[in-house]
Chain A
Amino acid sequence: MSSHREAPEISKDPVADSTDVYAFISPDQPSTVTLIANYIPLQGPAGGPNFYEFGDDVLYEIHVDNDGDGYADITYQFRFTTKLQTPSSFLYNTGPISSLSDSTWNSKQFYSVTRCDSGGTHPLGTRLACPPCNIGPLSTPDYEAKLGRPAVHSLPRGIKVFAGQRAEEFYVDLGSIFDLADLRPLQSANVFAHALGLPNQPGVNATNHLNVHSIALQVPISQLVSHGKPTIGVWTSASRQTVSVRGDAGQHPVGSGPWKQVSRLANPLFNEVLVPLGQKDYWNTQRPAHDKQFASYVAHPELASLLPVIYPAIPPGKAPFAHLAKLVKSGKPRADLEAILLTGIPSGIIPGFTNFTGPVQADMVRLNTSIPPTPKSSPKYSTLGLIGGDVAGFPNGRRVEDDVVTIELRAIAGATYPLVAPGYKVDAVVAALTDGLTGASVKNKPLASFPYLGVPYDGYHNPS
């Protein structure tokens, strides 16, 4: 869900479908920022014989705005090329793959990285190897040591890069949430679930045991920020050429014309939950600088109006979202959500914190790079980020473990409205609002070092 299959058109084009964006101060390299863009959602690990690859005909980009205008000042571009070692074989691999150059690996993928900025284009690396997909113990033994870690490449100027399959670390109870906004831990209060007599239950992580394809960069902070402005805005996009002509039998399609953006992503759930169905594909073609046109969907989120009616008063109880219902009825814009998602939070609202980038409304993950990472051992560390009192977490950037579903559910339900209206009384139920999942709901845990996303699930053991 963060942005998996979030719009009708892009759901039919998975290699260009961005799923999550992460931007955080690298906990083990705090002078750097790690930027991650995930693509190709909901990969079943046993998806052979043609295992997942990036699109050779897709332009993948990670953008950084460092002056608050919603336009990219720095863009990292990634282009992929697939090479068949043995075109006469139907197999992805003809034996165990023991290294990135192993001749037993038939379908290898390579990529280039280019930085684009006001100074022009700067190639950072070419013919960089992706790792193979994690197939199973016979084909990809000792996956991380022999294939995953060697696929972390060092580039000039202290940059690291990785592109390839990783475990899905985003956790969400998709099956429940999109079944009429059901939250299993609270479903006895859901009007539809109540009618069926369903009791409260633990959440189910629908993305567990699934993989994604990740593009990860670790870049010194000094190469991203502009002088005196520590907050950067980050998003990803995928583009295809305007025209594609299918050639004669056996020939690859010919692409031509300017790149057209078909997918973009910054804050989790923005397009998925806030933008209405009829505008989602259009939203994907737009750039953050033009997001003012979508601001009304943030100021008046549909989900906020649905919660009080899907979770109504069920006698003898009181209406759990009574205060939210009044707020929605008042028609007041949700300035809290507009700040969190579109401008950043100005100084003076949360003591000692700001990630405000200016008045331009633009959906970007805003990371104040002057705020150091919170060690996991610290009592201040919270996967609920800012609403959990941890200013190093979402929406100040986004870390891999951050529980963005719970954070955004609670924010939309009113948890953050007192930031702009101190007299507002948050409904008591909001503190318990969750789909019932935490980082513990993910089997393959995040790594402690770059690229931080966990070892991909292999197809022999998953599903099992």
Chain B
Amino acid sequence: MTIPGHQDRAAAAELETGPQPQPQPQPRMSRRAALRTAATTGVAVTALAATAGPALAAARPARAEGEDHGHNVAERAGTDPGEPIIAHLRDARTGEIDVFRGTSRVRLRDPALAALLVRKSR
């Protein structure tokens, strides 16, 4: 026995009101890639930290008007120079790399560095 007359709700709703809201695409963190990159590309990541400091600071997002205070204040907190830096190579073809440090994340586009990470992680 099934619930009588209970048809596919999404399909029924679309018929009545048009497409239902769908989840917005969320950045997918590949844990495996992050682990692999963090574990095998220490040289590359260290060099990145040494050379890209100003770029990282400049890329840190400012607090937008109307945003919650809690998260943004936490994210703007200072970083500890000794804390780990973790790089996630999102797309080797475009060189898109996320770099995580403390509570910040910056997104770089550096095909040369991406190629180096790919080579070193093999």
Residues of A near B70 (CB, < 8 A) are 61, 63, 72, 75, 77, 116
Q: Which of A116, A180, A278 has the most chain B CB within a 10 Å cutoff? A: A116
**Could you say which of B71, B74, B101 contacts A256, with CB atoms under 8 Å apart?**
B101
Nearest-CB residue, chain B, relative to A239: B71
Which of A180, A195, A257 contacts B100 (CB under 8 A)?
A257
Q: Give 5 nearest A-B pairs by CB, closest first.
A: A75-B70, A257-B100, A282-B23, A72-B68, A256-B100
A: which residues have CB within 8 A of B? 59, 61, 63, 69, 71-75, 77, 116-118, 120-121, 180, 191-192, 195, 239, 241-246, 254, 256-259, 261, 276, 278-279, 282, 285, 287, 289, 293-294, 296, 300, 302, 305-306, 309-310, 312, 331
Q: Decide if A257 touches B86 in the complex (CB within 8 Å).
A: yes
Residues of B within 8 A of A75 (CB): 68-71, 73
Q: Judge if B34 is at the interface, Cβ distance under 8 Å.
A: yes
A296 near B68: Cβ-Cβ < 8 Å: no
- Return chain B residues, CB-CB under 8 Å to A287: 68
Whether B86 pairs with A256 at a CB distance below 8 angstroms is yes
Q: Distance in Å from the Cβ of A128 to the closest Cβ of chain B?
A: 18
Report B-chain residues with C-beta under 8 Å of the C-beta of A293. 21
Using A63-B70, A117-B69, A287-B68 as known contacts, say yes or no to A276 and B9 having CB atoms under 8 A apart: yes
User: What's the least CB distance linking B13 to chain A, in Å?
Assistant: 7
Contact B9 A242 (CB under 8 A): no
Cβ B13 vs Cβ A258 within 8 A: no
Tell me how far the C-beta of A355 lies from the nearest C-beta in chain B, rounded to whole angstroms: 21
- B23 to A71, Cβ gap below 8 A? no
Given A118-B69, A195-B1, A276-B9, A256–B84 Cβ distance below 8 Å? yes
Give chain B residues whose Cβ lies under 8 Å from the Cβ of A296.
13, 17, 20-21
**B86 adjacent to A245 (CB under 8 Å):** yes
Question: Inside 8 A of A276's CB, which chain B residues have their CB?
Answer: 9-10
- List B1-57 residues whose CB lies under 8 Å from chain A: 1, 3-6, 9-10, 13, 16-17, 20-21, 23-24, 26, 29, 31, 34-35, 38
Alpha-carbon gap, A452 to B5, bound state (A)? 45
Q: Please tell me if the beta carbons of B4 and A191 are within 8 angstroms of each other in the complex.
A: yes
Q: B88 to A116, Cβ gap below 8 A? A: no
Considering the chains assembled together, what is the distance between the CA atoms of A116 and B70 in angstroms?
5
Q: Does B102 contact A (CB under 8 A)?
A: yes
Interchain CA distance A254-B104 in the complex, whole Å: 14
Given contacts A73-B69, A195-B1, A287-B68, contact A258 B88 (CB under 8 A): no
A403 to B20, CA, bound (A): 32
- Of chain B, the residue at the smallest CB distance from A121 is B73
**Selected A-B contacts with CB under 8 Å, 6 pairs:** A75-B73, A241-B103, A245-B38, A259-B71, A302-B9, A312-B4
- Would A256 and B102 be within 8 Å (CB), given that A71-B67, A73-B69, A116-B73 are in contact? yes
Query: Shortest Cβ distance from B45 into chain A, in angstroms?
Result: 12
Nearest CB of chain B from residue A119's CB, rounded to whole Å: 9
Please name the residue on chain B nearest to A192 by beta carbon.
Answer: B1
Given contacts A77-B74, A259-B74, contact A294 B4 (CB under 8 A): no
Least CB distance, B18 to chain A, in whole angstroms: 10
Tell yes or no: B96 within 8 A of A by CB: no
B109 at interface, CB cutoff 8 A: no
Contacts of B17 in A (CB 8 A): 296
Contacts A257-B103, A278-B23 known; list 17 others, CB within 8 Å. A61-B70, A75-B68, A75-B73, A116-B73, A117-B69, A191-B1, A239-B71, A243-B29, A243-B88, A245-B35, A246-B35, A258-B104, A282-B26, A293-B21, A296-B20, A310-B3, A312-B4
Q: Are A74 and B69 in contact (CB under 8 A)?
A: yes
Give Cα distance in the complex from A246 to B21, angstroms. 36
